[in-house]
Amino acid sequence: QKEVEQDPGPLSVPEGAIVSLNCTYSNSAFQYFMWYRQYSRKGPELLMYTYSSGNKEDGRFTAQVDKSSKYISLFIRDSQPSDSATYLCAMRRNSGNTPLVFGKGTRLSVIA
C-alpha cells in the first residue's frame, strides 16, 4: 500500500460545480497536510495548509482533515475554468526538514 493514495482522474465538471478532491494515507504520524495546484509546465502552488485535524477555509477553497480515518479533502466551490489544473495532496510528519509525501495528483477540468 502506498503511503498516500490519490485518484488521478481525470475529473471533468461543469463551471459552477462543487469539486471534491480526496486523498487517503496510511502513516498515522503525518501531522501537516497540504494541497497544491499545478498548471502544466509550472511549479506547484500551495493552496491550503492544515496542521492536524480540522477544517480550513480560504475563499472558494475548503480543506478538511480527518486523522481518525486518515482521509483529507479539498472542496472547491463555484468552480471556474481557471481552476483546471492538477491538484496534489501532500503531507509530512513533524516539523524540521522531513520531506513531503505526495499523492499522484488529480487532473481537474472545469468546462465552461
Residues that bind other proteins (CB under 8 A): 32, 34, 36, 41-46, 49, 51, 88, 90, 95-97, 99-100, 102-105
Between 51 and 71, name the residue whose CB sits nearer to other proteins.
Answer: 51
What is d(CA 74, CA 105) in angstroms, rounded to the nearest whole number?
12
Residue number with CB closer to other proteins (17 or 62): 62
| Rounded-to-integer distance, Cα 26 and Cα 57, Å | 25
d(CA 110, CA 104): 19
| C-alpha cell belonging to residue 67 | 486523522
CB of 28 to other proteins, least distance (A): 19
Q: How far is CA 7 from the centre of its chain?
A: 11
Distance in Å, CB of 16 to other proteins, minimum: 27
Nearer Cβ to other proteins (18/98): 98
